[in-house]
Structure 1
């Protein structure tokens, strides 16, 4: 082993985190740029991982597999609404303009991760993307279903909701049988895709987490765990699974 191999962090797994493409201003420039809130990066590094940002770009299944070859784990982050055409619906009046580049990018990454059993975590939009990628549908405007704006109380303001976690699940092993979570979503899972298991719900029945039991670690939550710096258990679970994935890959 070389001296560089013994430096702190050498054994840390690499976690790819999808990002947005947004119009951004810096100095005299006003350009499209890769954008990701720092809280996602902090959540990974706090849990012992190395964070690598994966912005949307032209993608094929082969491209997605190649990108993930250098990753030990994957996070599909929150953000804009998914194009309803992907699940066979016309857009609701409150559904945001489609970001087709990001939809295609994350769909391909998720399929490649599932194919290779790469550990992955979906967050908010990421949970919705997993469901849609596997054939499920969404409620396009949750207030129409629950009669309340409590899941997205105001622009840039997170709500807090208690969720109940199903026993004998990966999520329960990490978080116990329930907790209060940060929510900011006006959409939610409707018809759950075949192969996914609902693992957490709110008091009024909104699906707040699903898992893919067919892979060693495939978890997706509708809430925003990155916003809770005092609780990194979910990210630690991903990092641990990513470390095990890399070890098995090196031994094969």
Structure 2
């Protein structure tokens, strides 16, 4: 049987057919396609803060991208550019912490990496242009930034990426303090691009979007860890 990989989802107004701005549980199909191409069975997880029992039937977890993580979770006040989804924060923080306790393989993508960081006691920069002085990590609405990344030799992400250091990103927040996680990748401007937790069998967060390119290296590594 294929390993079952849960993917956290958005709740956003959506329009299709005769329906307009209907609150909808969704996730870009790229995530599902990436999990499927890597040999997993994707299961979508809507925000649910009642319990984490679903982890009992999952072999791995993808914390997907989306809105900003609530600053109150790392002891900060929200800035003017911060756009949060409290329902996702509550539900996904429960899932992330329970998954880590169970040593379930976890891949965090963009917001997912940031959520892992906060779950590990870290902090975020709320608006990167204020910190870095540029907007190359999110150059325009719906436009991915593209830049080189540097990976720590011997790290999981370095082994997976090899000499491919070009990444595509779309975010305006970033990791300020990784907490108990280890930063194993950085952008050209020094911003963390990858975090790992060597104490677990597979905990990897990346600030870019490997699902868009159907990157079988990262999703394949998650599926392999979920199969082991």
Query: TM-score normalised by the shorter chain: which range applies?
Result: over 0.9
2:137 paired residue number: 151
Q: How does 1:163-182 map to 2 (within 5 A)?
A: 163-176=149-162, 179-182=165-168
Distance 2:19 2:131 in 1: 42
SS at match of 2:34: helix
Q: How does 1:11-90 map to 2 (within 5 A)?
A: 11-30=1-20, 31-59=22-50, 63-64=51-52, 66-90=53-77
Distance 1:167 1:106 in 2: 31
Runs of 4+, deviation exceeding 6 Å: none
How many residue pairs get matched?
227
1:184 paired residue number: 170
CA contact (8 A) 2:73 2:118 kept: yes
Select the structure of larger CA radius of gyration: 1
Give the aligned CA root-mean-square deviation in angstroms.
1.1
Structure 1 unaligned residues grouped into runs of 5+: 1-10, 245-252
CA contact (8 A) 1:18 1:53 kept: yes
Residues 134-179 of structure 1: CA deviation (Å, up to 9, x unaligned): 2111000001111111100000000111101111211122112551
2:187 paired residue number: 202
Residues 74-107 of structure 1: CA deviation (Å, up to 9, x unaligned): 00000001111111111111111x2111001110
Q: How does 1:86-165 map to 2 (within 5 A)?
A: 86-96=73-83, 98-165=84-151
1:57: how far off? Answer: 1.9
What is the TM-score of this pair, normalised by structure 1? 0.87
Residues 203-243 of structure 1: CA deviation (Å, up to 9, x unaligned): 110000100111100000011111113x3210000000001
Distance 2:221 2:48 in 1: 28
Distance 2:157 2:178 in 1: 17
Structure 2 unaligned residues grouped into runs of 5+: none
CA contact (8 A) 2:4 2:43 kept: yes
Residues 187-211 of structure 1: CA deviation (Å, up to 9, x unaligned): 00001212x1001001110000100
Residues 102-141 of structure 1: CA deviation (Å, up to 9, x unaligned): 0011101111111111001000000100111121110000
CA contact (8 A) 2:49 2:94 kept: no
